[in-house]
Amino acid sequence: MNNVPESGIAELEARLRQAAAEGSSQPLGEPLGDWRHRLLKHQVRYQHAPYLILLNPGAPSMIELLAYDQDDEHFLAALYHHLLGREADPEGQLYYLQEAQQFGRLFVLLNMLNTEPASAYLNEQKVQISPRLHRLANLHKKANRMKWCNRLWQKLLPKWERCWQHRFTHHAEFRRAIALQRSQAMRQHLLIDAVAELDQRQMQLQQCQQQMLTRHQGIGQQLAHLHRQQAQPAGAPVNDASSLEQQDDAPGMTSTINGQLDAYYLAFEDTFRGEESTISAHLERYRSVWVSARQAGDRALDLGCGRGEWLRMLTQAGYQACGIDLNSTMVAHCQEQGFNVTHQDALAALRAQPDNSHALITGFHIAEHLPFSVLFELVGEAYRVLAPGGRLVLETPNPENLIVASYSFYHDLTHRNPLTPVTLEFLYQFHGYAPVEIKRFNPPPEETRIPEETPTAERLNHMLCAPMDYAVIGVKAPMKVAV
């Protein structure tokens, strides 16, 4: 407490400012609620030392002080506490314990009561000692003065005490029981106060929470409104309801749009790739391929089968032809014609096939739609799936024709990059196809040629009038027959 030397007021001020800056002192707690202080005091006082409890803390009775319901140590500890307001020092404890054993507890009580510090403490604390005990203490004092009298007193007093000891014990137990019961009742009372106050605080906190929540919701609404405003193009009227509906219907919208896109692609194919019959005429040029592949088996798979022209030709050629396409309209169109077509992704379809199971795998105008990693894997997977002697055919626009490379390739907005014949050929070879053959088809009409025989014209014609499509045909090497 007073362990701080006062070394100048300037230093004191500096230390206080420091203490304030550190904020080291903890608040004593909420000033509300008297119960808190009393409950803690109560707990500290009686929880650890139930032998200290008194029926009336301001007026301990002789029976309570003699404490015959407790052993000598506790009797002495309580006596120190009630009469001197402190704990026993080892020396004093030893002295009084011996005295108690020799002359009885009453003797010790009267001795201590007659000491200077005890009367000072009792006076200061305004503790009342019963008149009977006072008289006894005075008698004790007088007896001490005369030697012969003292001897007699020292004999009589313990005897008298022993006579009553039984009764003292009962009374002490009784009083302590009542005191404990009262203390419990008091504690219960304090606890009820505490619970009531905590309940009230809980309610206040709930209110605070409610207010915060309301605020929070308000901010959320405001934020959503701002987002909506931002999403609207400048100048367009903000219509909360409609934009919300749009958001809600987003999945439905996507499916509708997908359906429309499929229909668009079907129409696009009709317009730009020609009628089904024209295509059939084109596919006729692969006759040599399907005829030679037929030796490796009768199963064929067409990736991106479209309207099914190729499937028809293969079926007529005796193949068990299957097709896959990602366009549901195309798939439905093929299924209507009785072809075995599923709505599937090309790579997934290949992965699902067993090794060495197909004689012919084809992909007309799909390679230019695929990212390179997918194309790479597709060519590899096809090799696995093909039976030895089987063939992979991939047809794609030919960028050797400048018009195709710079213009018509981009009619189809789902095309990625033009693929050069050399690249594709290398890709086949890399995966083990041999031999690999390139077929070029569909040169532009003759009249588009520059009708001159000069080297310049020839060069230009070479670039502008090259065939517009090409195909790479790779053969999976037939198994070598051991000789």
Find the binding residues for another protein in span 5-34 (CB under 8 A): 6, 8-10, 12-13, 15-17, 19-21, 23, 25-34
Task: Write each residue from 300 to 319 as x if it is in contact with another protein (CB under 8 A), else as -, in one continuous string.
Answer: --------------------
Partner residues linked to 385 by β-bridges: none
Tokens of 461: 């014609």
* CA separation for the pair 368, 423 (Å, rounded): 12
| 34 versus 89: smaller Cβ distance to another protein | 34
Nearest approach, Cβ of residue 60 and another protein (Å): 21
> In whole angstroms, how close is the CB of 57 to another protein at the nearest point?
16
Nearer to another protein, 206 or 221 (CB): 206
* Contacting another protein within 172-211 (CB under 8 A): 200, 204, 207
Q: Where are the beta strands (DSSP E) in 308-397?
A: 320-325, 340-343, 358-364, 386-397
User: Could you tell me the two tokens for 457?
Assistant: 């014209």
Coil vs helix vs strand at 56: coil
For the CB of residue 178, give the shortest distance to another protein in the complex, in Å.
26
HSE, CB side, 13 Å, CA atoms: give it for residue 376: 4
Place of tokens 């934009």: 243
Least distance in Å: CB of 88 to another protein?
21
DSSP state of 285: G
For another protein, the closer of residues 156 and 192 by Cβ is: 192
Angstrom distance (rounded) from CA 107 to CA 253: 103
If the CB atoms of residues 16 and 49 are measured against another protein, the closer one turns out to be 16
> Residue 48 Cβ, how far from another protein at the closest point, in Å?
20
- If the CB atoms of residues 8 and 131 are measured against another protein, the closer one turns out to be 8
Question: Which residue in this structure is represented by tokens 């002490």?
Answer: 172
Of the pair 9, 481, the CB lying nearest another protein is at 9
Measured from the CB atom, is 40 or 156 closer to another protein?
40
Could you say whether residue 446 binds another protein (CB under 8 A)?
A: no
> Total residues contacting another protein (rule CB under 8 A)?
31
Label residue 203 exposed, middle or buried (CB < 10 Å: 0-12, 13-18, 19+): exposed
Residues 114-133 contacting another protein, CB under 8 A: none
Of 277, 270, 307, 292, whose CA–CA distance to 390 is shortest?
A: 292
**Least separation, in Å, of the C-beta of 24 and another protein?**
8
In terms of CB distance, is 20 or 156 closer to another protein? 20
Q: Shortest gap between Cβ of 207 and another protein (angstroms)? A: 7
Q: Which residues contact 68 (CB under 8 A, 6 or more apart)?
A: 75, 105, 165, 168, 169, 172
CB atoms within 10 A of CB 473: 22
Question: Residue type at 465?
Answer: C
Q: How far is the CB of 19 from another protein (least distance, A)?
A: 4
Q: Which residues pair with 391 in a beta bridge?
A: 360, 475
**Which residues of the shown chain bind another protein in the complex (CB under 8 A)?**
1-4, 6, 8-10, 12-13, 15-17, 19-21, 23, 25-34, 37, 200, 204, 207
